[in-house]
Structure 1
């Protein structure tokens, strides 16, 4: 095993819950610093990005069990940092490498141990030059989910895509990836999010009653595909406007006949491609707010409000 001279082998801080529930159950604890085993690397985390799934997974025992989580449990999945310990048998990663990835429900911690060749939410990817750690920490869950959803509808030049919940964490990526693919994007959001959606490259439209009429006004020739990132309103609107189910995708709700996508479905290399686009200046990730680890409860409350324009990041 290789490790840095400054590598911690004693205690470090991590966010944990002793009971399933809301942000009020989140605490910063002193824990035994994890050690990298064979085939693993340990990352000194500098930033951890939050997602709605973080608090959904730990809200109750039944949901947690579906993800294999038991008490006490950590919090957060997206991370970025620097490798400070390399287990035997690891290739392609070295001490001091900047990396990002997923560590299922344990990312908000000073150290995480992951398998760099592992599956989603137990992984490491090289962080390209030109991508800072805060940005890198916000990529894994939302970026992978957006990529999987875009693969379902396969947008291109000539397409007009309706994206429901376009201003959310996944929407940030979905809008920009669809635009990069050459599609026109109409994004639903609140009245206060209109300017933000325009900045991402979407034409804003208010959600709620009468959505189909408002979309018709924006796109008299119709829409050709749709992604619903929140519920079912966009699905029903797309169907009303004649979009076939095969070109509609959901991520949060299952509807008969409509394909669903999640981050686990993303193609190999999806995250590396997103990171490359960011490094090249073709895609940006707005950071709505950052909090120190001591303010994890407040950060989770802001994230759970679901009206955040951009990503919430914990600095470590």
Structure 2
């Protein structure tokens, strides 16, 4: 869950959060890519704070077409989606299945797969989220077997039964990727542990500025209500992201 705040002082130990968007209020002597006043977004630790210290290589200029709240919803989950799809070799003409397609990483994966050239994107979600998936350009499914065909790529953001399903439903198990279940690797699939990468953030910002990537914010809550935000997430049925603001 991301936070929209301001970038600067190092957070105390154990401050949670991995995504943020804000304004640079100070920079180190060796920083060359940013100046005070820049609007940035980042995939960095300690994001549940009003001020955060961010490594230069973990940040990028904020997409101009997104608000701070929308931009704060992007970094970790969209990077996870991009890195998973690239690990599967997603490209022109592919048929892609996204497990958990209405969630944080899933709704980004639907859009990114299209940008990478996928011919069709199908996504599993609850029936209440099917219209949302159609708006994103995906064909909604409750169960992946509904399509009655093997897929070129399957990405798992849900875990549990979805990991095994991803392996079963692809032509080549090496193109089944999970960001949540390392056990997929033992069965011939790929596990991707998302990692900060400024070039990926710049790629995503360009996609957003071209109108090809949007962030769905399910709810915006003040930082003081972070515990309530986690209870909301744990209850399930969150479409897209929950964002904390100072």
Q: TM-score range by the shorter chain?
A: 0.7 to 0.9
Does the CA-based 8 Å contact 1:223-1:238 persist in structure 2?
no
Structure 2 distance, partners of 1:271, 1:92, is 14
Match of 2:209 in 1: 279
Structure 2 distance, partners of 1:238, 1:72, is 37
SS in 2 for 1:281: coil
Note if 1:246 corresponds to 2:174: yes
In structure 2, relative to structure 1, the CA distance for the partners of 1:91 and 1:310 (3 Å cut) is same
Gaps of 5+ in 2: none
Match of 2:23 in 1: 82
Shift of 1:157: 3.1
Note if 1:180 corresponds to 2:115: yes
Q: 1:301 aligns with which of 215, 222, 231?
A: 231
Count of aligned pairs between the two proteins: 236
In structure 2, relative to structure 1, the CA distance for the partners of 1:116 and 1:268 (3 Å cut) is closer
Match of 1:201 in 2: 137
Structure 2 distance, partners of 1:241, 1:96, is 48
Deviation string, structure 1 residues 255-279 (Cα, Å, up to 9, x no partner): 2111111212x76611111111111
Structure 2 distance, partners of 1:311, 1:282, is 18
Structure 2 distance, partners of 1:262, 1:113, is 22
Does the CA-based 8 Å contact 1:43-1:82 persist in structure 2?
yes
Note if 1:289 corresponds to 2:219: yes
Does the CA-based 8 Å contact 1:44-1:81 persist in structure 2?
no
Structure 2 distance, partners of 1:107, 1:224, is 36
Deviation string, structure 1 residues 124-163 (Cα, Å, up to 9, x no partner): 2111322221121112110111111101222233221111
In structure 2, relative to structure 1, the CA distance for the partners of 1:292 and 1:44 (3 Å cut) is farther
Structure 1 distance, partners of 2:122, 2:33, is 41
Match of 2:33 in 1: 92
In structure 2, relative to structure 1, the CA distance for the partners of 1:205 and 1:84 (3 Å cut) is same
TM-score, normalising length from structure 1? 0.69
TM-score, normalising length from structure 2? 0.87
Shift of 1:78: 0.7
Match of 2:157 in 1: 229
In structure 2, relative to structure 1, the CA distance for the partners of 1:110 and 1:165 (3 Å cut) is same
In structure 2, relative to structure 1, the CA distance for the partners of 1:236 and 1:73 (3 Å cut) is closer
Deviation string, structure 1 residues 66-120 (Cα, Å, up to 9, x no partner): xxxxx9621212111111112323212111111110331x111111112213xxx
Shift of 1:240: 3.7
SS in 1 for 2:191: coil
